[in-house]
Amino acid sequence: MAHRIGGDAEALSTAAAFRDRLAAEAAARDRERRLPHDEVAALAASGLWAIGVPAAHGGADVSHATLAEVTARLAEGDPSVAQIPQNHFATVEAFRHIGTPEQQRTLFARVLAGARLGSAVVDRGPPTRLHDGRLDGEKAYSTGALYADLISVTALDDAGQPVLALVERDAPGLSVIDDWSGMGQRTTASGTTVLAQVAPFWVIPIAAAAARRTPVGSVAQMLHAAIDLGIARAALAATATFVRTRSRPFRDAGAERAQDDVLLVSRFGQLQLGVHAADAMLARAAAALDAARREPTEAAMAAAAVAVAEAKVLTTEAALAGANGLFELAGTSAALEADDFNRFWRDARIHTLHDPVRWKYHVIGDYHLNGTLPKLRSYL
């Protein structure tokens, strides 16, 4: 049985402890592509995976602000590990809105006991089909599936309608293949899931849910933004430590220490400002989602979706700028393989590809200029 976290404060302190634990071996896991099975199991046992379970079902039911900060802290330690529960938290949120009372009782009880949810929703080829109660298809980018007890799978039924199926990880005919070969986020195991006549234990029609606005997609995007923020924070912290302890001042700076180079200090201040701005915007987005949970109106959920889009723009910029700025400010010595600092840029570049930022600008502008609500989107 997993520990039950009592509330927001305990969730944040637990995440801070795991941040430091994850950071200790993050570079080694990246270099060796050593999958974090033990770390993921420890996270689940700590109770962090259950902090999104509603209070009515015995969960901590933390605020979105806390959920975002927990994710950011884990990403400071290791963004690959932080991404593994991202789909888990999004699926828990989804069942608040699409699950029957019995499904909620069953699923949330399993999550509280320590069950981990993975995801297989991106079709590699033709759409996955549900025919005669069996699933057939192939999914890519199955982040978390390799570590999961249950996997959420999207498919089309015989009528061509979308369904969400939950499948046991050890179901006959289900194969999760560790073939993720991305240059960053190396240990998320975001590989391939193959379904060959797999019998799910739940099938949930989601056409009606997809036709109404819910905060599920916004919560999923908020978590992605939090991971990017964690990368930005970690890159900037690594920059500060390296500059203070190992960098040499530029010969024209007229300073004995790199940290006294006025142009370096100014550039570091610019990067720090970007991280603080991203941090503030993510907190603002989380507060908007909390408001939409209290009063789930169309207007409130649309406003939250736009706020999340705004945060995602700044966290993307902060992660990429911070990871690149590390080398700019720390200097050539920071490029040595032994430090593996390039993982910050590789992780940032790969992870920020989720939902292109160039479209966020359009959504933001169209909403504030023309009053156009964001499209109905979900990441089930």
Pair 257, 298 in one domain: yes
Half-sphere exposure of 284 (CA within 13 A, CB side): 16
**Which residues make Cβ contacts (< 8 Å) with residue 10, sequence separation at least 6?**
60
Pair 358, 239 in one domain: yes
Pair 201, 290 in one domain: no
Q: Does some domain include residue 274? A: yes
Boundary of a domain, candidates 211, 237, 259: 211
- pLDDT for the residue numbered 378: 55
Pair 235, 362 in one domain: yes
CATH number at residue 315: 1.20.140.10
Angle at which helices 64-77 and 262-294 cross, to 10°: 140
Structure tokens at 39: 């770390």
- pLDDT for the residue numbered 12: 98
Q: What residues pair up with 26 in beta bridges, in sequence order?
A: none
Pair 201, 226 in one domain: no
What's at 315, amino acid-wise? T
Q: Using CA atoms, how far apart are residues 257 and 326, in angstroms rounded to an integer? A: 17
Q: Does some domain include residue 112? A: no
For the chain, the first-to-last Cα distance in angstroms comes to: 27
What's at 333, amino acid-wise? S
Pair 134, 239 in one domain: no
pLDDT tens for residues 214-244?
999 999 999 999 999 999 999 999 999 999 9
Q: Does some domain include residue 200? A: yes
pLDDT tens for residues 21-43?
999 999 999 999 999 999 999 99
Domain count, the chain: 2
**Which three-class secondary structure state does DSSP give residue 177?**
strand
Give the chain's length. 380
Pair 256, 284 in one domain: yes
- pLDDT for the residue numbered 210: 79
Question: Do β-strands 174-177 and 192-198 pair in parallel, antiparallel, or remain unpaired?
Answer: antiparallel
- pLDDT for the residue numbered 78: 98
Pair 240, 207 in one domain: no
- pLDDT for the residue numbered 380: 35
Nearest to 21 by CA among 82, 67, 66: 82
Domain holding 277, by residue range, is 216-370
Place of tokens 């974090």: 36
Q: What is the DSSP letter of 186?
A: T
Place of tokens 């089309």: 156
Pair 279, 357 in one domain: yes
Residue spans of alpha helices (H) in 157-215: 207-210
What's at 61, amino acid-wise? D
Boundary of a domain, candidates 211, 242, 275: 211
**Which three-class secondary structure state does DSSP give residue 283?**
helix
Half-sphere exposure of 128 (CA within 13 A, CB side): 28
Question: Do β-strands 192-198 and 150-156 pair in parallel, antiparallel, or remain unpaired?
Answer: unpaired
How much is the pTM?
0.97
Pair 176, 303 in one domain: no
Q: Does some domain include residue 330? A: yes
Q: Using CA atoms, how far apart are residues 58 and 108, in angstroms rounded to an integer? A: 8
Ranges of the chain whose pLDDT falls below 50: 379-380
Q: Does some domain include residue 144? A: yes
Boundary of a domain, candidates 211, 228, 259: 211
Pair 166, 305 in one domain: no
Pair 303, 272 in one domain: yes
CATH number at residue 130: 2.40.110.10
Q: Does some domain include residue 74? A: no
Radius of gyration of the chain (CA): 21
Q: Using CA atoms, how far apart are residues 255 and 238, in angstroms rounded to an integer? A: 21
- pLDDT for the residue numbered 209: 78
Q: Does some domain include residue 377? A: no
- pLDDT for the residue numbered 253: 87
Q: Does some domain include residue 28? A: no
